[in-house]
């Protein structure tokens, strides 16, 4: 086989913060979100049908259901709807490769039946929490798999990581710490074909895709008139370019403090994805300063640290879907062309990224914080769920009913004792 017969891999990444809406977060027609690679009616897509599709969610369902682990029905619903829409519009069947969920952060990965799906092996999933006390209300989930190379070409490892970092403008430094914790504790078992048995970080891969609600904001050095400055620049391409210079994530990535080694397409091709007024396609809420909180980043093993703004992965499209109005976020999607695998230099060789930067090495006792957060979340979730049942769907009402009930019981006991 010659290299000319081995083509690039087209990967589509989609991410959406659902604002805790569960089954109500998505319309039944997903074309507006997945339209870059789907045909609509008799109009064909302008882009190649992707070989791999990764769909990430944050705040997928109410927290008490997420903490208790009662997410299966929502995940099943999302999976069925996505596969149904792909079959309807893409014109080719897809296989569900894997899915991973922790509280409200979820990731579903699909591969085209007629191509790459037949060569996928060593599928792994992982999760970690970085909320208070390691709770999973913030954190990451990941999917990793190996794509076997054709004769004479390398196997390659694909890793997809969906994240939700801490919110609010004042927690800038905590977001950076969230990333470090995810990098150190979102670990994958070494695949059966690997020579080593130690757990590996997300960087131990040929291609890395990192996306989700990163929650970084826009920040001026001089905060005077910051809100007015941002809002006055939302409606023109030149204005969006000016706002991009205030983007915290881009600044800290350039300084090597977060998302080390990752690249990104031009996010000024769409307006900031947060915070919108629920029910509106274009209007921003007055409660928060608009920002590009929802992002899609990537890197591959041929990328050089000497050229941190360029990548061998080609961004074909990077956009948002304003028509989704059930959340205060807008979903984002990217189409990426991953270069073909290189010829095999040694038997069973698999090219990998450079080792993670200092401070992002795999944590020694990574399972301790993960399961502390998991157990604490389970307790909180079931207590919360109980109050929600008592309150007919509202935990606050349930707490009030519980307090009133306990007070009535105490009064009855005192009255019985006095008589």
Q: How far apart are the first and last CA of the chain?
A: 95
- Residue 171: strand, helix, or coil: helix
Write the pLDDT tens digit of every residue in 217-261. Answer: 999 888 788 999 999 999 999 999 999 999 999 999 999 999 999
Q: Is the pLDDT of residue 36 over 70?
A: no
94 in Cβ contact with 112 (< 8 Å): yes
User: Could you give the strand order of the β-sheet that contains 314-320, starting from the edge strand earlier in sequence?
Assistant: 94-102, 105-112, 52-58, 9-17, 332-338, 314-320
What pLDDT score does 41 carry? Answer: 38
pLDDT score of 89: 78
Dump pLDDT digits (tens) for 308-349: 999 999 999 999 999 888 899 999 999 999 998 877 765 557
The DSSP secondary structure of 88-127, one letter per residue, reads: HHHSS-EEEEEEEEETTEEEEEEEETTTGGGGEEEEEEEE
Q: How far is Cα 196 from Cα 202, in angstroms, rounded to an integer? A: 16
Confidence of residue 402 (pLDDT cuts 50, 70, 90): very low
Contacts of 81 (CB under 8 A, 6+ apart): 26, 28, 30
């Amino acid at each position: 086989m010659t290299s000319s017969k081995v083509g690039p891999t087209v990967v589509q990444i989609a991410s959406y913060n659902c604002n805790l809406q569960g089954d109500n977060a998505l319309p039944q027609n997903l074309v507006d979100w997945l339209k870059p690679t789907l045909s609509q009616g008799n109009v064909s897509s302008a882009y190649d049908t992707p070989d791999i599709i990764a769909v990430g969610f944050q705040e997928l369902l109410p927290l008490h259901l997420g903490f208790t682990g009662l997410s299966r029905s929502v995940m099943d619903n999302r999976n069925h709807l996505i596969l149904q829409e792909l079959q309807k519009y893409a014109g080719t069947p897809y296989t569900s490769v894997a899915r991973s969920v922790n509280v409200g952060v979820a990731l579903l990965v699909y591969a085209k039946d007629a191509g790459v799906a037949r060569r996928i092996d060593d599928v792994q999933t992982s999760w970690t929490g970085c909320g208070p006390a390691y709770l999973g209300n913030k954190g990451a989930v990941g999917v990793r798999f190996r794509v076997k190379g054709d004769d004479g070409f390398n196997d390659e490892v694909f890793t997809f990581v969906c994240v939700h970092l801490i919110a609010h403008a004042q927690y800038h430094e905590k977001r950076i710490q969230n990333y470090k914790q995810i990098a150190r504790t979102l670990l994958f078992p070494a695949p059966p074909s690997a020579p080593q048995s130690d757990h590996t970080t997300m960087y131990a891969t040929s291609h890395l895709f990192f996306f989700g609600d990163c929650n970084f904001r826009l920040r001026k050095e001089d905060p005077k008139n910051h809100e007015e400055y941002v809002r006055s620049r939302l409606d023109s391409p030149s204005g969006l370019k000016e706002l991009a210079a205030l983007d915290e994530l881009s600044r800290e990535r350039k300084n090597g403090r977060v998302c080390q080694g990752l690249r990104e397409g031009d996010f000024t091709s769409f307006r900031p994805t947060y915070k919108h007024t629920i029910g509106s396609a274009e209007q921003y809420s007055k409660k928060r300063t608009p920002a590009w909180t929802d992002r899609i980043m990537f890197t591959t093993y041929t990328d050089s640290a000497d050229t941190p703004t360029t990548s061998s992965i080609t961004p074909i499209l990077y956009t948002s879907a304003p028509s989704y109005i059930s959340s205060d976020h807008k979903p984002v999607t990217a189409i990426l062309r991953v270069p073909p695998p290189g010829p095999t230099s040694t038997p069973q060789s698999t090219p990998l990224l450079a080792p993670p930067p200092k401070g992002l090495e795999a944590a020694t006792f990574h399972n301790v914080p993960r399961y502390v957060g998991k157990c604490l979340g389970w307790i909180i979730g079931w207590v919360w769920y109980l109050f929600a049942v008592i309150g007919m769907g509202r935990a606050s009402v349930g707490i009030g009913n519980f307090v009133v009930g306990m007070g009535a019981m105490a009064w009855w006991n005192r009255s019985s004792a006095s008589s």
